[in-house]
């Protein structure tokens, strides 16, 4: 029997669900030791006057089983927004049932509504299952771009320099 998959935008009351998914995502990526997010901080960053990211939730038969968190950046060449997929996660017991695909379809619809020129995201090299899925849906791997990150001491040192 095919189960009904439903996608909905997260609301403030969904913070515990989102937080639970983030904890599972951290465990899956072996990053639990780096997780400092709390429900209180998520509520402030997702549902206050300045929103930093948005979330959609995937349900099967009224049970939340996955989520996608996204934000926006901007393309200078197109002068249009870019929907940036921060994270997508489906609970292990519910994978291979079309939930991730439905989440991405919903994100594509949001991107079109917001007149985005594209959706972008990154994938960790070790996550071959995700990479195969992204290739299957037709996503383009950008081999000529590198992702850079500045955090902790490096970020502090640069921010403290005189401009």
**SS3 at position 112:** helix
Mind listing the pLDDT tens digit for each residue in 54-99?
A: 999 999 999 999 999 999 999 999 999 999 999 999 999 999 999 9
- Residue 154 in this model has a pLDDT that exceeds 80: yes
**SS3 at position 48:** coil
Q: How far apart are CA 123 and CA 141, in angstroms?
A: 10
Q: Determine how many CB atoms are found less than 10 A away from the CB of residue 140.
A: 9
Bridge partner residues of 54 (DSSP): 70
Q: Which residues are catalytic?
A: 134
Mind listing the pLDDT tens digit for each residue in 111-127?
A: 999 999 999 999 989 99
Q: How far apart are CA 90 and CA 94, in angstroms?
A: 7
Q: What average pLDDT does the segment 43-60 reach?
A: 97
Q: How far apart are CA 50 and CA 28, in angstroms?
A: 29
From the list 93, 88, 85, 71, the residue with the least C-alpha distance to 29 is 88
Question: What superfamily does domain 5-159 belong to in CATH?
Answer: Gcn5-related N-acetyltransferase (GNAT) (3.40.630.30)
């Amino acid at each position: 029997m095919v189960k009904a998959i439903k996608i909905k935008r997260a609301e403030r009351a969904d913070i515990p669900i989102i937080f639970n998914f983030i904890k599972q995502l951290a465990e899956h990526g072996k990053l639990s030791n780096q997780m400092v997010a709390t429900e209180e901080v998520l509520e402030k960053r997702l549902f206050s006057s300045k929103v930093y990211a948005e979330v959609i939730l995937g349900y099967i038969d009224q049970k939340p089983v996955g989520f996608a968190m996204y934000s926006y950046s901007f393309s200078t060449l197109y002068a249009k927004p870019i929907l940036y997929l921060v994270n997508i996660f489906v609970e292990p017991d519910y994978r291979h049932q079309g939930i991730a695909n439905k989440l991405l379809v919903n994100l594509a619809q949001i991107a079109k509504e917001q007149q985005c020129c594209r959706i972008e995201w990154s994938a960790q090299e070790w996550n071959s299952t995700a990479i195969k899925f992204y290739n299957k849906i037709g996503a383009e791997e950008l081999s000529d771009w590198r992702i850079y990150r500045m955090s902790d001491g490096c970020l502090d040192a640069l921010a403290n320099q005189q401009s």
